[in-house]
Amino acid sequence: MSEAPLWTRISERGSSVGLRFAVACYRTFGRPVTLVIVHLIISYFYLTDGPGRRASLAYLRRVHELSGRGGDEPGHWQSFLHYRMFALSIFDRVAFWLGRGDEFVLDFNGEELFERVIADGRGAIIVGSHLGSFDSMRLLAHRAGVVVNVLMFTDHAPLLNSIFAELSPDAEMHVIRADPSSMKTAFEVRSRIERGELVAILADRIEPGDRGSLYRTDFLGHPADFPTGAFLLATLFGCPVVHMVGLRRDAHRYEITAELLSEGTAVSRKDRRRHIEELVERYAARLEHFCLDEPYQWFNYFDFWSEEHGVEPPVRKAA
């Protein structure tokens, strides 16, 4: 990854005051005034974030090329809309976490599958992405009364997390702190799965611990590296893999989709590697499908197709 993700940079650029200000505004003035302020903040970031802007444009052009919708190539206006969508997503996130989730309608495709996976009690790995809102899914899990564990790197987005922790200290969410250098993480995930819980992992961004385990596959018409960690754990532990995405359809409506990528039946040792690769391929294909559906909602503002990590086999030899 050549560029830090947007919100890491937001943090680095010391905008926590701005974001806290937006939260305070929401509480004080409500939605309309806050929306105006959020637009001002995101305009500032759009204007001052050259590398992010270029990455956004390159991504939108790939989508445009593949969608076959015709018309003009995306330009700065579309790129601004891409940034704006990130602001709206944070805005909704603040609303979710302020306990205003009731203001949102959640349409749910795949409810039966989701309920079956929970009822089976085998646990599951939920693979998500930076497309749409993962928080809308958390809201759904909250309504369904299930525990969701989210695997995350704690040095990542500390700004947003600290703000949301302040806002909602008793949320139904457990964070598993990913330690890239230790097997503790895998062990912790396993014990959660064995209790029949769900463990959510975002699988479209390479984190420090992933460098040795990447798999390169087609995404939006070009090869890109994906981390294999989530799929490797699911294969080792023999649990189902469910892909979930929550797309913002309008200001008060999210459409959440849950779909099965793998039942989690046992895979023999010799087939494991290929099985993991196939899961990454399935995931990338589904992510592509939803990116084409809502292009502005993929919040990865860096060169996703970078070859900086090199073409690695999915997992290096142990030696």
| CB 180 to another protein: min, Å | 7
22, 41 Cβ separation under 8 angstroms? yes
Choose the stretch contacting another protein; rule: CB under 8 A; options: 36-44, 122-130, 269-277, 287-295: 269-277
Choose the stretch contacting another protein; rule: CB under 8 A; options: 26-34, 178-186, 243-251, 256-264: 178-186
Among 212, 253, 263, 274, binds another protein (CB under 8 A): 212
Of 19, 63, 61, 59, nearest in space to 42 by CA: 19
| CB 229 to another protein: min, Å | 10
Q: Based on the shown chain and the rule CB under 8 A, indicate whether residue 266 belongs to the binding site for another protein.
A: no
Q: What number of chain residues touch another protein (CB under 8 A)?
A: 23
Q: Which DSSP helix (H) or strand (E) runs through 126?
A: strand 124-128
Q: Based on the shown chain and the rule CB under 8 A, indicate whether residue 183 belongs to the binding site for another protein.
A: yes
Choose the stretch contacting another protein; rule: CB under 8 A; options: 96-104, 125-133, 230-238, 292-300: 230-238
| CB 235 to another protein: min, Å | 8
| CB 161 to another protein: min, Å | 24
**Residues 41-80 vs another protein: string with x where CB under 8 A?**
----------------------------------------
Q: Based on the shown chain and the rule CB under 8 A, indicate whether residue 273 belongs to the binding site for another protein.
A: yes
Grouping H, G, I as helix, E, B as strand and the rest as coil, residue 238 is: coil
What is the distance between the alpha carbons of residues 240 and 122, in angstroms, rounded to a whole number? 8
- Spacing of C-alpha 56 from chain mean position: 16
Structure tokens at 294: 């809502």
What is the distance between the alpha carbons of residues 115 and 288, in angstroms, rounded to a whole number? 26
What is the distance between the alpha carbons of residues 271 and 185, in angstroms, rounded to a whole number? 24
Of 125, 139, 165, 100, nearest in space to 254 by CA: 139
Among 146, 152, 236, 260, binds another protein (CB under 8 A): 236
What is the distance between the alpha carbons of residues 259 and 252, in angstroms, rounded to a whole number? 23
What is the distance between the alpha carbons of residues 219 and 235, in angstroms, rounded to a whole number? 22
Q: Based on the shown chain and the rule CB under 8 A, indicate whether residue 182 belongs to the binding site for another protein.
A: yes
256, 245 Cβ separation under 8 angstroms? yes
Q: Based on the shown chain and the rule CB under 8 A, indicate whether residue 318 belongs to the binding site for another protein.
A: yes
DSSP code of residue 97: I
Spatial CB neighbours of 76, under 8 Å, sequence gap ≥ 6: 53, 57
Residue number, 180 or 223, with CB nearest to another protein? 180
Among 232, 261, 280, 284, binds another protein (CB under 8 A): 232
Q: Based on the shown chain and the rule CB under 8 A, indicate whether residue 187 belongs to the binding site for another protein.
A: yes
Neighbouring C-beta atoms of residue 146, cutoff 10 Å: 16
Residue number, 259 or 278, with CB nearest to another protein? 278
| CB 309 to another protein: min, Å | 16
**Contact positions vs another protein (CB under 8 A):** 180-184, 186-187, 190, 209, 212-213, 232, 235-236, 269, 272-273, 276, 315-319
